[in-house]
Amino acid sequence: MIPSVVKEASGLYTMTSTLFMQPVKDDAKSVFHCTVEYSMPNNQIKQESSDKFNLSLLYSTENVFFKLKNQGPVKEGDDVLMECETDGNPQPEFEFCKEDEVLQGSKGTLKVKSVTRKDAGIYKCEALDFDALDGVELIETLSLNVHYLDPVTVTPEGPLLAAKGDTVELQCKTKSSDEYTLQWKKDSKVLSQTGVLTLESVTLANAGVYLCVGAVPSVPGLQKQANVTLTITGKPEIDASVNGFVDKEGGMVTLNCSALGYPAPQFTWTPSGKESVTVVGNKVISTVTLEASAAVLKDGVICEAYNKHGRGSKNFKVSIKSG
């Protein structure tokens, strides 16, 4: 550091301090500024500082860094981002390849969209820094592991038809790069923690959609599923009757008769009225609206459900509201 002092014609002094240095690589992050300290009347000491600045140093590569930017395990379908950089300035051009196949990167970044298991392997990044010293390793490698889970297969394939009282066995299988789990579910309820589900002496209530879900616990989001529809044949089973109420004799009453069965049951009401049929899940619901005659108030209303496997019936009581 060399100071100099010049007395101007005005009587004022111009002071200059020049710093000569041989910067090294570590100085690239250094912050520089100049501070002037001067005296004022009454023994006051004051300071003024220049703006702070950095040096723009140019230096060659000594190390190459090649890393995977994805957080957590990589699974099929993910977009993968790999980044290559050096400790030199400026950053050189980079060349990427996998098993001698040149890949197109941009500014030290290599993107592979929607990866599959075929994209797994060793990737190589080469820094094209022609100013690097002899003996500096300009190539770095990275191993990419792509986790996968094959589609879940169900046997026997659906849709399935079984008679009431039969035993039904369902199996599902898959393959994965890691340990996996298989769960059988119906209506969100877990029925089996293995790939096998056995339903003994099935009832009409067992009909529905069964879902087999395969998952890899070590890889969040890696999941596949398959389903099968099971239909149970048998004569209709009618739900417990819900009694109807009217304000007075001769009023209109509406009754609902809900039944399970396959083929879908048909309905007969005695006495009859204005009827309609709706389907909710596995159930068929017949609705009737009729007059609450004296006979209806005395004997009730009979709902009969039938198909080719047989018949079932329920009696619905109709009463006048009390009070």
Q: For position 87, what pLDDT does the model report?
A: 94
Q: Calculate the alpha carbon distances from 67 to 85, 233, 308 in Å.
A: 9, 60, 68
Domains, in order of start, for the chain: 2-49 (no CATH), 64-147 (2.60.40.10), 153-233 (2.60.40.10), 239-320 (2.60.40.10)
pLDDT in tens, 154-194: 999 989 999 999 999 999 999 999 999 999 999 999 999 99
CA-to-CA distance for 82 and 66, rounded, in angstroms? Answer: 7
Q: Calculate the alpha carbon distances from 230 to 68, 69, 258 in Å.
A: 46, 46, 20
Nearest to residue 94, comparing CAs of 61, 69, 119, 121? 61
- Reading the chain (323 residues) residue by residue, the pLDDT tens digits are 787 877 788 878 788 888 888 888 888 888 888 988 888 888 888 888 989 988 888 899 999 999 999 999 999 999 999 999 999 999 999 999 998 899 999 999 999 999 999 999 999 999 999 999 999 999 999 999 999 999 999 999 989 999 999 999 999 999 999 999 999 999 999 999 999 999 999 999 999 999 999 999 999 999 999 999 999 999 999 999 999 999 999 999 999 999 999 999 999 999 999 999 999 888 999 999 999 999 999 999 999 999 999 999 999 999 999 86
Joined together, the tokens standing for residue 35 give 């501070």
* Structural contact between residues 98 and 84, judged by C-beta atoms closer than 8 angstroms: no
Q: Calculate the alpha carbon distances from 102 to 23, 96, 126 in Å.
A: 38, 6, 11
Query: Residue 18 corresponds to which amino acid?
Result: T
Ranges of H-type helices in the chain: 294-299
Quick count: other Cβ atoms within 10 Å of Cβ 154? 21
CA-to-CA distance for 306 and 298, rounded, in angstroms? Answer: 25
Where does residue 172 rank: exposed (0-12), middle (13-18), buried (19+ CB within 10 A)? buried
Q: For position 17, what pLDDT does the model report?
A: 84
Q: For position 40, what pLDDT does the model report?
A: 85
Could you report how far apart the first and last alpha carbons of the chain are, in Å? 108
Q: Calculate the alpha carbon distances from 117 to 24, 74, 125 in Å.
A: 46, 10, 21
Joined together, the tokens standing for residue 268 give 């007969």
Joined together, the tokens standing for residue 212 give 């087999």
Q: For position 3, what pLDDT does the model report?
A: 77
CA-to-CA distance for 67 and 190, rounded, in angstroms? Answer: 41
